[in-house]
């Protein structure tokens, strides 16, 4: 799915000059390692699917999602806290919603379709 996003979204924007820099599988530290009671607690690391810098200077981190688990949701919260100036987005492919969309938008649309179906039945 990440390859499809790269091919469909990233490459065309790089070729057009809209994206001036990108990196795949960029690591971020969400919590540094520390010591507690003579034990070393390892850092919490996160690897983003895509980091992109646009020609206007905006930085965006994209994670391609299907169905995020509780760990992904927790890491998203930690990322938002640790890197408040970076626009962090989850995207997913939903053909019924128009292709590559914001994950939260797709969830909202799915709930609405389910509600509409329930009303129609």
The pLDDT-based confidence of 119 (bands split at 50, 70, 90) is: confident
Query: Is the CB of residue 65 less than 8 Å from the CB of residue 72?
Result: yes
The predicted-structure confidence for 35-83, as pLDDT tens digits, reads as follows 999 999 999 999 999 999 999 999 999 999 988 999 999 999 999 999 9
Domains of the chain from N-terminus onward: 2-120 (3.40.1350)
Closest alpha carbon to 74 in 101, 49, 35, 44 = 44
CB 100 within 8 A of CB 5: yes
Coil vs helix vs strand at 34: strand
In the predicted model, is pLDDT for residue 32 greater than 90?
A: yes
How many Å apart are CA 55 and CA 8, to the nearest integer?
19
For 2, residues 6+ apart whose C-beta sits below 8 A from its C-beta are 24, 49, 50, 64
Q: Would the pLDDT of 15 be above 90?
A: yes
Residue 51: strand pairing partners: 23, 61
Provide the mean pLDDT of the chain: 94
Q: What is the largest CA-CA distance in the chain?
A: 62
Whether this prediction's pTM lies above 0.85 is answered by no
């Amino acid at each position: 799915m990440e390859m499809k996003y790269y091919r469909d979204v990233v490459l065309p924007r790089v070729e057009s000059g809209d994206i001036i820099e990108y990196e795949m599988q960029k690591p971020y530290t969400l919590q540094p390692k520390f010591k507690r009671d003579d034990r070393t607690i390892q850092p919490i690391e996160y690897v983003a699917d895509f980091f992109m810098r646009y020609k206007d200077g905006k930085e965006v981190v994209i994670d391609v999602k299907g169905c995020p688990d509780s760990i992904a949701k927790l890491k998203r919260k930690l990322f938002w806290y640790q890197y408040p100036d970076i626009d962090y987005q989850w995207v997913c492919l939903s053909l019924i919603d128009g292709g590559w969309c914001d994950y939260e938008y797709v969830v909202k649309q799915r709930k609405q379709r389910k509600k509409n179906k329930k009303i129609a039945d």
